[in-house]
Structure 1
Amino acid sequence: MKITQSQVIPQTITIQKTDTVKQRTSAQEQLDSYTPANRQELWGYSVNEVKKFVPNTFTHPNWNLIPTKGMETPSQEQLVAQIQDLARNIPDKKTGTKEEWDIFWAKKIQLRVQYTSLVSPDRKALHAAALKVAKKVEEEQPKHTRPLTLVDYLITDDLDLTLDPETRKMMHNASITPIHRTGGGYDYEINYGGQVVMRSINGSWGYEATPAELARQNEFERIFEAAQVG
């Protein structure tokens, strides 16, 4: 998997790229390759010992708010019907209560994520593999980092990663880029098919929509708005 637009899941707001990130990316291309040190594998330690080397600095992604291939969803027909029903039952702007609006927005976000997921990459698998690399990177504390191809790195490092043919093909098109935090530690960008699909910021994971997902989200809004007019 290779690591590098992004949506934070606050929930599900696009993360804008900053000049700092661009500068880091440019600088990384000139850095030396990172080779893991030949010492005892992190994976041989107990849970308590691992915590001494690798602080738990990552939040667990909320997969209800991050579109990913294979997530449980209603059928296309059911999704469209639910989107239309929601659009026809928006709380009244003057009399709607906070609770009613909270329920409305939560349902709309949920439906949009489900509708989008039908064209999403398998972010769950990409994230799981990236975390294995991230733990190794933080244990090694490299001075220079570069995008790490996930499948090559995980296999050559003899980590326990059983890949079916479809997942193996996906990992060959994915990478993870460690980025030094100013205050210490690392954040990570997961790149798949030539673009960033997930990114951590201060340990919190968000996602960036692919072109196919953006098209799907626009389609969602058209269905929603058409139902309102109707």
Structure 2
Amino acid sequence: MSIPILGSNKIQSSSFNNYNSIKAPNWEIIPYKGMQTPSKDELIKQIKDLATKSAKVVTVEDSVYVNYQEEKLSAQYLSSVSPDRKTLYKEAVQTIKGQKNNKENFEGQKTLIDYLNENDGTGSLKNGKSYPLSSGGSITPIWNSRGGYDYDVSVGGNTVLSSNQGLGGWTFTMTPAEMVNKTEFNKIFDNTCKAAKLENTIVSSNLDTITISETNKTIINSKKAQNSFSETVSHFKGKLYPCGSGQQDITGVMADLTIFAQGQGIKTPLDSNFNMGTDYKSYIDNLAIFAKKLSQTRPELVPPDFMDFCSHIKGNLTKYDYN
């Protein structure tokens, strides 16, 4: 029977072997001595390429991918000065496996057996006390609120690996030497990313400027075409032409001929994709050619001065610098 010190009746057995519930370290993103890496130049190139890609990330999926790749490249960049975490981890696991069960209550209070064991040396691992590893490091079990233990693995006075039963995995803490490399890595990555974002902004701005310029040109040309047409119509004001049993002005004639021309496949303002800012000049040229040809077979549809009307419009387009 285990008797708790301080009179607590709440006894819970826990084992150092709860490490089985903690996943092994992800050695793709945890740096270690001897990690397989490309050459320094190639590694820097990969870092810059990823940073450039990160500047264009827009989706959550892409962001998750880039962040993981960044962790991998960071681990590789740090590994040249990293401790041998893989060996330390292997030795730590072997040490944990070899320990006897250590029973404490869920509040972390020691039982009488634990108290006696601490004083007579029974067992090796003790809560909060480090145990040496053969490679020169040490492991320290730390009682957690889940009724088990987390572990710190240290070397040279620096904790380099830590388990977290709550998160179900292992994390690493950088050594001073690794921090220097991490600063270098961040500088390469961040500067490249900023440069890429700036370039993207400039390119986007230039494209916007081009789009705006083209839009402005279309608007201006459309206005020039309208002014040319209005001025030409005013020149023919008062003139009427036969239309069935009635009469119409020159704009009615132009409208009739435009409908006939479109039926022959000529692009006119009646087309949904017609652009007044770019197609109007060719429309007038093609309409004049069509009207001249039509006048040979249907002269009643083409007034004698319609060709003069088309010439006036072309002259005004030139006058208003339509292009």
Q: Same fold (TM over 0.5)?
A: yes
Tell me the amino acid that sits aligned with residue 226 of structure 1: N
Q: Distance in 1 between matches of 2:95 and 2:150?
A: 12
Contact 1:177 1:189 in 2 (8 A): yes
Secondary structure (helix, strand or coil) at the match of 2:24 reads: coil
Structure 1: stretches of 5+ with no match in the other structure? 1-51, 152-170
1:183-211 Cα offsets, whole Å, 9 max, x none, are 42221111101110011121521110101
**Across the two proteins, how many residue pairs are aligned to each other?**
156
**Aligned residue for 2:189?**
224
Is 1:64 the counterpart of 2:28 in the alignment?
yes
**What is the correspondence of 1:27-42 to structure 2 with a 5 Å cutoff?**
none
Q: Is the 8 A contact 2:140 2:151 kept in 1?
A: yes
Higher relative contact order (CA 8 A, sep 6+): 1
2:83 aligns with one of 121, 130, 154: 121
The residue aligned with 2:133 is 150
More helix by share: 2
Residues 194-229 of structure 1: CA deviation (Å, up to 9, x unaligned): 110011121521110101111101100111233233
Query: How far apart are the structure 2 equivalents of 1:62 and 1:80?
Result: 22
Q: Distance in 2 between matches of 1:127 and 1:195?
A: 14
1:76 matches 2:3: no
Q: Which of 119, 134, 141 is 2:102 aligned to?
A: 141
Partner of 1:201: 164
Report what 1:191 is aligned to. 154
Contact 1:179/1:188 (8 A) holds in 2: yes
- Larger fraction in strand: 1
Unaligned runs of 5+ in 2: 1-14, 104-113, 119-125, 197-323
Aligned equivalents of 1:185 and 1:108: distance in 2? 33
What residue identity is the alignment partner of 1:106? Y
For 1:223 and 1:53, the matched residues in 2 are separated by 42
Whole-Å Cα distance in 1 between the matches of residues 180 and 16 of structure 2? 42
Structure 2 CA distance, aligned partners of 1:215 and 1:53? 35
Question: What secondary structure sits across from 1:88 in the alignment?
Answer: helix
Shift of 1:106: 1.9
Larger radius of gyration: 2
TM superposition score normalised by structure 2 = 0.45
The normalised TM-score by structure 1 is: 0.61
Q: Distance in 1 between matches of 2:64 and 2:17?
A: 37
Asked if 1 retains the 8 angstrom alpha-carbon contact of 2:16 and 2:148, the reply is no
Cα separation, 1, equivalents of 2:80 and 2:16: 38
User: What percent of counterpart residues are identical?
Assistant: 38
1:88–1:58 Cα change, 3 Å = closer
User: What CA distance in whole angstroms lies between the structure 2 residues aligned with 1:54 and 1:62?
Assistant: 20
- The equivalent of 1:210 in structure 2 is 175
Distance 1:53 1:187 in 2: 9
